[in-house]
Amino acid sequence: MVRGMAGSFQLMKSLNKSLILNVIRTEGPISRADIAKRTQLTAPTVTNIVGELLESGLVIESDLGVSSGGRKPILLRIHAQAFQVIGIDVGTQDIKLVLTNLDAEILDSLRVSMPAGLTGERLLALLAEAVRSIMDRNRLNKASVIGIGVGMHGLVNPAEGVSIYAPNLNLRNVPIRESLQTAFGLPVEVENDVRAMALGESWFGSGQNIDHFVCVNVGRGIGAGIIIDRKLFDGTTHTAGELGHITVDPAGPQCSCGNYGCLQALASGPAIAGRAKAELQRGRTSIIAELAGGDLDAVTGETVHAAALQGDALAIEVLQAAGRYLGIGIAAVINVLNPARVIIGGGVAKAGDFLLQAVNETVRNRALQTPAEAASITLSRLGDHATAIGAVTLVLKKLFAPDYAT
Ligand SMILES: [Zn+2]
């Protein structure tokens, strides 16, 4: 029988406990003696705290280690399978949920379409229904659920757990944390979707063990999550990483923000579709029109990608152009932040094979040589669930690595 998570969070309100728990998470299976060495805590302190962690069920004793003379030490590890986390990705077109264990391994997932004319209240009701549904069908005991993480598109105040402004849904001031916390009595963490994704990449994806990296989400919009010294960089008003709104062509098309020639207006999914559509209207022949059923308004970024996969010249050209604009934006990021890696995720990243070469060429031509050579540009390995895994990570971070312990 595991004890309730409210109790376990209480338990973590000690710096030493967080410290030990995180050493077991990152280095386990590990012996009590090695924990003492790593944390520089005394052996009796480690023994006491490990006792409490064993009792909470979060930590278990695993195999015996190698003896350095004398009897073999008992090793400790996190009991990842005994607890679950729910991660939610609130996008512009759907809500994706994942249920994971403490290693962020997906046990179940659920997708709900976003209805038209959504209000804040309806969104909160949809989120609660979806959480209840995934809990019910997995017969979850609430005591074993660590918490609920939410990655929400748009401007988010993570300290308050409020969606301040979601431009594509036209919603303002939606109190996501308060609502879900009241409904389920579980800890709830809320963050901007791209920043959640970057945190997920840092713990479980292509950003593992990298001090400084940037995760770029390319979908309906373009945004970036910035990890500096292994920590998420938030900015003064929680808006750091708005890469989609840097100007890459002053004479370019108008962006949703009002400016002209923003990266988002030139390399996002809708921008890719728009460029293909304009070329088709000019009379270019391409299978894109056919794939869209002859209706040019039905052309999407996905249609263009599908055509590119069939070798369509226009589709490939349009994706490469988007890749070059993306490369201009990424070159700026590389010059300013000097990251070791840039991870590209989001819907448009599915066309990564067509984009990546143009991105790399542009970065080589435009970024300074030293930082450009130090930065590898890769596609996210977390795929469609990258943001939901990021949302799970928000909860895990609170448990294993609260800021005061790092
Ligand atoms: Zn803009």
pLDDT, one tens digit per residue, over 139-165 is 998 889 999 999 999 999 999 999 999
Where is average pLDDT lowest: 55-64, 212-221, 231-240?
55-64
Domains of the chain: residue spans and CATH: 5-81 (1.10.10.10), 83-202+386-405 (3.30.420.40), 208-381 (3.30.420.40)
CA–CA separation, 77 and 382 (whole Å):
24
Sheet holding 155-157, edge to edge: 155-157, 162-166, 171-174
CA–CA separation, 242 and 227 (whole Å):
14
Task: State the distance from the centre of ligand 1 to the C-alpha of 247, rounded, in angstroms.
Answer: 8
Give the pLDDT confidence of 71-118 residue by residue, as tens digits. Answer: 778 899 999 999 999 999 999 889 999 999 999 999 999 999 999 889
pLDDT at position 404 is 45
Task: State the distance from the centre of ligand 1 to the C-alpha of 256, rounded, in angstroms.
Answer: 6
Task: State the distance from the centre of ligand 1 to the C-alpha of 366, rounded, in angstroms.
Answer: 22
Task: State the distance from the centre of ligand 1 to the C-alpha of 99, rounded, in angstroms.
Answer: 34
Nearest CA to 256 out of 170, 355, 167, 185 is that of 167
Strand residues in 91-187 grouped as ranges (E): 94-100, 106-113, 145-152, 155-157, 162-166, 171-174
Where is average pLDDT lowest: 259-268, 332-341, 348-357?
348-357
Determine the average pLDDT of the residues in 353-369. 95
CA–CA separation, 320 and 323 (whole Å):
5
Nearest CA to 399 out of 82, 49, 10 is that of 10
Task: State the distance from the centre of ligand 1 to the C-alpha of 273, rounded, in angstroms.
Answer: 17
pLDDT at position 405 is 36
Alpha carbon distances (Å) from 160 to 48, 66, 152, 156, 163? 34, 47, 13, 9, 9
Q: Cα-Cα-Cα-Cα dihedral of 264, 267, 269, 273, to 10°? A: 120
Determine the average pLDDT of the residues in 241-260. 95
User: How many CB atoms are located within 10 Å of the residue 236 CB?
Assistant: 6
pLDDT class of 238 with cuts at 50, 70, 90: confident
pLDDT class of 2 with cuts at 50, 70, 90: very low
Task: State the distance from the centre of ligand 1 to the C-alpha of 155, rounded, in angstroms.
Answer: 14
User: Torsion-angle region of residue 114: left (phi > 0), alpha (psi -120 to 50) or beta?
Assistant: beta
Highest-pLDDT range among 27-36, 63-72, 332-341: 332-341
Alpha carbon distances (Å) from 74 to 45, 71, 192, 323, 390? 17, 9, 41, 52, 33
Query: What pairs with residue 69 in β-bridges?
Result: none
CA–CA separation, 13 and 15 (whole Å):
6
CA–CA separation, 325 and 255 (whole Å):
14
Exposure string over 137-156, b if 16+ CB within 10 A, otherwise e: eeebeeebbbbbbbbbbbbb
CA–CA separation, 247 and 263 (whole Å):
6
**Is the per-residue pLDDT at 220 higher than 70?**
yes
Helices (H), 338-368: 352-366
Q: What percent of the chain has pLDDT over 70?
A: 94
Answer whether 206's CB lies under 8 Å from 341's CB.
Answer: yes
Task: State the distance from the centre of ligand 1 to the C-alpha of 269, rounded, in angstroms.
Answer: 14
Task: Give Cα 381 to chain centroid, integer Å.
Answer: 11
Query: What pairs with residue 260 in β-bridges?
Result: 254
Task: State the distance from the centre of ligand 1 to the C-alpha of 144, rounded, in angstroms.
Answer: 43
Alpha carbon distances (Å) from 141 to 2, 4, 83? 10, 10, 10
Is beta strand 74-78 parallel, antiparallel or unpaired with respect to 30-31?
A: antiparallel
Q: Chain-wide mean pLDDT for the chain? A: 92
**Is the per-residue pLDDT at 184 higher than 80?**
yes
Task: State the distance from the centre of ligand 1 to the C-alpha of 193, rounded, in angstroms.
Answer: 18
Task: State the distance from the centre of ligand 1 to the C-alpha of 347, rounded, in angstroms.
Answer: 19
Q: What percent of the chain has pLDDT over 90?
A: 82
Task: State the distance from the centre of ligand 1 to the C-alpha of 297, rounded, in angstroms.
Answer: 22
Based on its alpha-carbon atoms, the radius of gyration of the chain, rounded to whole angstroms, reads 23
Answer whether 313's CB lies under 8 Å from 234's CB.
Answer: no
Query: What pairs with residue 91 in β-bridges?
Result: none
N-to-C CA span, the chain: 30
pLDDT class of 374 with cuts at 50, 70, 90: very high
pLDDT at position 406 is 36
pLDDT at position 1 is 37
Give the pLDDT confidence of 281-317 residue by residue, as tens digits. Answer: 999 999 999 999 989 999 999 999 999 999 999 999 9
270 cis-preceded (ω within 30 degrees of 0): no
